[in-house]
Amino acid sequence: MGWTKSARGNLSLPIITIIICTIGFISLFYIDKISTYHSVLRFKPCSKCTFTKSKNSHTDVKRLENNPLNEYDRYECNHTDGNWVFNTSIKPLYTDRTCSYIDREYACVKNGRNDSDYLYWEWQPDDCVLPRFDPEVALIKLQGKRLMFVGDSLQKNQWQSFVCLVESIIPEDQKSMKKISRGHSVFKAEEYNASIEFYWAPFLVESNTDFHIKFNPNQKIVKVDSITQRAQNWLGVDILVFNTYVWWMGRLKINTLWGEFQNGEEGYEELDTPVSYRLALRTWANWIDSTIDSNKTQIFFTTMSPSHERNKDWGNINGIMCYNETRPVMKRGHWGFGSNKEMMKVVASVIKRMRVHVTVLNITQLSEYRIDAHSSIYGESYGKLLTDEQKADPLHFADCIHWCLPGVPDTWNRLLYAYL
């Protein structure tokens, strides 16, 4: 008891002041640490991302810091489950008249399509809000980089959509489109030193029909273990977006060639399409794993784009494929004949075993509902616009594979934009 009194007596005012100041300093230190931690959570700088220095670099950083993408958890959001909501307050960022880079086969309005409701359906996932595509932010993220879409005509559909989404904010003298080779086209945004490219490789691996197209499926031969000739054009690209599906679906079996055959193409074997597809994807995956540095290159794979050629799938018994459809399918989980689940499982199993991380853009389910948004009779047939006689025969001439632009591929690019 005497010790306690003595101790209290010895605590002079200067000592008490020192103790209070020390406690205050420690409190401020931890408050600062907590504040810094929350700041990092709000805007996470990417150690692997680099931006080319420019006169606008400070503005670019501020633009990124204030963008809604920073609040969006792309890895927690399930983009597959959701519904299409009609929203006329949202206008497309371009039209097929304002964007000169759209091929005629996707330019539905220019080719005579009069209804416009298909332009105003917006995909809304169940458990998150998908960020809107901001052309300026997209270009800032691509500054000093090459983005390349690799695949078939559906991938070309997506590539042209991406180009049109960003090109309107670029001055005419600061943008260009060049054809590097027969299968390689490059859109350049000069001010950002960015390129948005397309490389034609419908099977990803090589085939005898890549450029000299054989319309008879029986004549197509896929070389499932040959990719080097194509893949050398993908080296040095910062962001690669792959797809391959529709060209595999002409037959139940694929003429498949691999290894060394003295008789050339005569040495092929007929394999079930999923088997041949798996062999080709393994060749692609092996090339990615053995060649790509994931610290330098981001890899995406876009899942199958569904076709809508069997109208009974959505209950329109009296319809003709996708012709004259003006609204999406509203039944949750609708899945038609135009998407092959076995092929989708092949993609999942191959990517799961890869060393290099591949982000899957799962566009299949959300696109399954959009029976209303295909080119239909407002596209091309064998490179030529449909005649009036052909338009009057949708059973034979309606294109229910490709999509009008603007349209559904813009939503695919909203997903891609969220991951960039």
Catalytic residues: 153, 399, 402
Residue 176: closest CA among 153, 161, 154, 192: 192
Write down the residue that tokens 């890869």 correspond to. Answer: 354
Per the CB < 8 A criterion, the answer to whether 264 and 324 are in contact is: no
Alpha helices per DSSP H over 227-292: 228-231, 273-291
Contact assessment for residue 138 and residue 166, using Cβ atoms and an 8 Å cutoff = yes
CA–centroid distance for 202 within its chain: 16
**Can you count the helices (H) and strands (E) in the chain?**
12, 17
Q: Which residues contact 90 (CB under 8 A, 6 or more apart)?
A: 120, 122, 132
Per-state percent for the chain, helix, strand, coil, to nearest 5: 40, 20, 45
At residue 32, the 3 state secondary structure works out as helix
